[in-house]
Structure 1
Amino acid sequence: MYHQLSKVTGRVVAATHLQSPLFPVAPIALQRVEPPTIQYNTAQLSTVTEASSSGSGPRNLIPGTNTPYPPLSDAFRKRQQLFQREDDVPVHLKGGPLDSLLYRLTLGLCIVGLAGIFHTVYGHAFPKKQD
């Protein structure tokens, strides 16, 4: 016998309209599926190049699309050369005086934060005596 909640009284009553049990459900065998084969770099999967409209040689396409990468501006290329130059200057300082200022500001804020942490730990370790 199966039971259900009555919508009128909210109590468990015998169910008359349920024909079959809900559980256990007979298991259904899964169909066997072959795993996909791994495709290594072939001519179909290699990077596709296409001649650019400016005639500067082949250009790579954005992966997964047929759209070529947009052309880079001259200002971007100059900035890229500046950052790639071997001149023993750390990369975070190659941008000029603004980068130096931001580096020093970040370093100062880190020191202030560490001082605050030590002050908090010291305050919790040695609380002030209450008279």
Structure 2
Amino acid sequence: MYRHMFALQQVARRTISSSARRQIANKIPEKQMRFQDDNGLPVHLKGGTSDILLYSATMGLTVVGVGYGMYLMVKASFPQNKA
């Protein structure tokens, strides 16, 4: 039993320590340039298409929510007569 655990520890240690490191390019300077560029867009829309879609969805849901809230307030202020 102990032999199996020792073998498993060695395999795990060997796998982790012999893995090659991947070189990841630093994208921060190019993102800083994009966000500092004076192109007339507000900062919350400079991220690209995904930011525009997220902003539009948020504004749409806000308008729908406010409209529904107004509808409920108006409906509550005029009670229905049941005959």
- The answer on 1:108 being equivalent to 2:28 is no
Listed as ranges, the gaps of 5+ residues in structure 2 are 1-24
Instruction: Report which of the two has the higher share of helix.
Output: 2
User: Which 4+ stretches in 1 moved above 3 angstroms?
Assistant: none
Listed as ranges, the gaps of 5+ residues in structure 1 are 1-72
TM-score normalised by length of structure 2: 0.64
Query: What is the letter of the counterpart of residue 26 of structure 2?
Result: D
Larger radius of gyration: 1
Identical residues among aligned pairs (%):
36
Highest relative contact order (Cα 8 Å, sep 6+), 1 or 2?
Answer: 2
How many equivalent residue pairs?
A: 59
Instruction: Report which of the two has the higher share of strand.
Output: 1
Aligned Cα RMSD in Å?
Answer: 1.3
Q: Which residue, 80, 90, 94 being the options, matches 2:46?
A: 94
Q: How far apart, CA to CA, are the structure 1 residues paired with 2:67 and 2:33?
A: 39
